[in-house]
Amino acid sequence: MVTDFLAAVLEGVLSLIFPPRCEICNLLQEPIVCARCREAFRPITEPFCRQCGLPFDPLAQSHPICVACQDDPPPFDAARAAGLYADELRRAIHLFKYDGVRALAGPLGDFMAETMALPFEIECLCPVPLHPAREQMRGYNQSHLLADELGRHWDLPVETGLLQRVINTTPQMRLPADERKKNVRGAFTAAGPVQGRTIGLVDDVFTTGSTLRECSRVLKRAGAMRVLVITIARAVEMA
């Protein structure tokens, strides 16, 4: 009882010295993400490509599969993103991924679970791995933290050993779109039991899709039956 009392007193003192604030807009007395910033996250809703999740102009008459997927079908069976990579959601992801704000895994995972309707059932979640050197430098794998949050929401196991990153590639964000596919070719290898399984591949942002395509290709080549790509956001213009 004394220990609990002292802990409560310490928490109260710390909250006075370091009051809670929204990590995105710095509004005081708000926990991690304030209501205004959370409401500013722009969810992706229909219509979108049934294959890659690319959002379409709602006023346009669009084919259910986008032109890019028709011309070059991806190795994954489907991809879904919770929101558009813009404004407050983009800032939240940058803080989470590059500035060490691990606490954002909770609100971002909540947003994903609340927003996304998965097109088919999956057996487990597989976070896109970082190279060990990169993960040691960053201190964590943001995709693993997201997968843990989604696993809790969806009651699914998170299996980190299905993929390994064997080449410490140049960060994709530093490269133009036409070089990203080449950059990640051969960077991953299957390292766990995937034969006949339906896997949810978790990452933060779907940009060109090069990394997610390569991971999906490796999983499929190792015998995975279906791969569903799951990300917080999609970095595209409306099409």
Residues paired with residue 84 on neighbouring β-strands, in sequence order: 234
Region for 57 from its dihedrals, namely left if φ exceeds 0, alpha if ψ lies in -120 to 50, beta otherwise: beta
204 is written with which tokens? 């933060």
Q: How far apart are CA 166 and CA 181, in angstroms?
A: 16
pLDDT for the residue numbered 34? 95
Domains for the chain: give ranges and CATH numbers: 1-40 (no CATH), 42-234 (3.40.50)
* Residue 135: pLDDT over 70: yes
Q: Enter the pTM of the model.
A: 0.89
d(Cα 65, Cα 168) in Å, to the nearest integer? 34
pLDDT > 90? residue 183: no
Q: Which two tokens stand for residue 24?
A: 């995105």
User: How do beta strands 163-165 and 226-234 pair?
Assistant: unpaired
The predicted model gives 68-93 an average pLDDT of 96
Phi then psi for residue 118, to 5 deg, are -75, 140
